[in-house]
Structure 1
Amino acid sequence: MKRLAVGPMTTPRYNEWWVRRLNDNIPKPSQGNSQSMEEHLWVVPSELEIIRQDFERRNAELEKKMEQMEEENMNLRLDMDVQKLKAK
């Protein structure tokens, strides 16, 4: 919408009316809708994305278990070395 601004014809009352008119045309969220804008725009992940996320989660769990087992293995080797030294 174009606005014709003629110097002396634009009064403060006219400006107030114009701003109110423009703001009335802006849609406001309904009071019944309690979703935030982020929830409203949330995209449902595809099946492939869900499978990828599940794979990454399981992979991270397995990596953590491997690290624990490697640490346990190292501790067992140290214990074995200590036992050998005691036996000598």
Structure 2
Amino acid sequence: MAHVKIYSSDYCPYCHRAKALLRARGVTEWEEINVDGRPEIRQEMARLVGRTSVPQIFIEGRHVGGCDDLHALDACGGLEPLLRGAAAG
């Protein structure tokens, strides 16, 4: 299974929704970076992706976006190949 990294917040319903989708696709572990009370970490995330909202999700180092982006990727059939390590189109 691919390496997944998520910038998240404990209080974010979109973070919980994104993680639920990942679990539904068989992802049982991910690297989670919590931004709660850590403005320097949120700033680092913003420098990486140009966004300050969470979640921000990376799969195998590729930024796939936030919760809505993850769901859109899944809806077009691109999430599972990416999770398996294949190039998503």
TM class by shorter-chain length?
Answer: under 0.3
TM-score, normalised to structure 1's length? 0.18
| Larger Rg computed on CA atoms | 1
Q: Greater relative contact order: 1 or 2 (C-alpha under 8 angstroms, separation 6 or more)?
A: 2
Bigger helix share: 1
TM-score, normalised to structure 2's length? 0.18
Bigger strand share: 2
